[in-house]
Amino acid sequence: MRIGFIGLGVMGAPMARNLLAAGHELQIHRVKDRSQDLVDAGATAAPSAAAAATGADVVILMLPDTPDVESVLLGEGGVLDALKDGALVIDMSSISPVRTEQFAAAVTEAGGQYVDAPVSGGEVGARDGALTIFVGGEDAAVERAMPLLEILGARITHMGAAGAGQATKVVNQIIVALTIEAVAEGLALAEASGIDPERVRAALDGGFASSRILELHGARMVERAFDPGFRLRLHRKDLRLAQDSASHRGIALPGTETVAAQMDEALSRQWQDLDHSALFRLLIEDTR
């Protein structure tokens, strides 16, 4: 299958590698030094989004934020300028659910099909083809996308119509953010109480407080290892989507507001490219 793939960052590049390894033909846009190996392995570098989409059966987007998707999809030299009739657009970025519905309508009007399929699982999940994928779109489009999604993910769930995948990702990011904050606060209190936080983490494993975040990000906190698996600035962007969605739907998210404020403080200290587990640093540095 000929695939246009746009967005080769921390997540996008390993996803593209898995598609290439599965035998698909890739036309890739936004090639950087860290993704040059894709060209060496046979992918074609495209100078624009339109060039990546030209002749493609499927176009996959893996971009940082809603404005990026809007520009790449609808802007001058964008995907819709070159989308062939009947082509499928799969947006795997994490963006606004409301805008996603509008993007889906624009692609449909242009003669294509649209699926939103944001992911969870971080760089490791992207590399291992083990992502969790939340899917929105019409049944026929999702069925068509599924063979590609199965290369990229281990758990794939069709959540509903276009935008439902993005709405589910927003829910995921709320729960992850609040759990990171809970783990950070618990381990910070353990440390302040003179208890080895690693022993606390191990003691809680298997109990009611056990979680993947306690296991992985708890270890990052104990080791002070905040090199990015998922950057703070990107998670803050996702919480902004949550706040916007909550406002649009008329509900309150008080816990999300609290953690968003913590992230804002971290960003003010220029920690935007640290892992989101670096929220722990706020607690231990501010108590010294």
Question: In this structure, how many other beta carbons lie within 10 angstroms of the beta carbon of residue 43?
Answer: 24
Handedness of CA 52, 53, 58, 63 (dihedral sign): positive
Instruction: Label the pairing between strands 88-91 and 58-61.
Output: parallel
Helix (H, G, I), strand (E, B) or coil at 133: strand
Find the mean pLDDT for residues 36-65. 96
37-57 average pLDDT score: 96
Asked if residue 51 has pLDDT above 60, the reply is: yes
User: Tell me, what amino acid is at 11?
Assistant: M
pLDDT greater than 90 at residue 123: no
pLDDT digits (tens, 9 = 90+) for 208-261: 999 999 999 999 999 999 998 889 999 999 999 999 999 999 999 999 999 999
Give the pLDDT of residue 230: 87
Q: What is the dihedral of CA 42, 43, 45, 50, to 10 degrees?
A: 150
Residues with catalytic function: 169
194 burial type by CB count under 10 A (0-12 exposed, 13-18 middle, 19+ buried): exposed
pLDDT of residue 287: 59
Half-sphere exposure of 227 (CA within 13 A, CB side): 4
Percentage of the chain beyond pLDDT 90 is 92
What are the extents of the domains in the chain? 2-160, 167-285
Report the chain's mean pLDDT, rounded to a whole number: 96
Q: What's the CA gap between 215 and 221, in Å, rounded?
A: 10
| Res 118: pLDDT | 97
Specify whether domain 167-285 bears CATH 1.10.1040.10.
Answer: yes
What pLDDT is recorded for position 186?
98
pLDDT at 150 over 60: yes
- CATH number corresponding to 2-160: 3.40.50.720
Task: Tell me, yes or no, if the two domains 2-160 and 167-285 fold the same way.
Answer: no
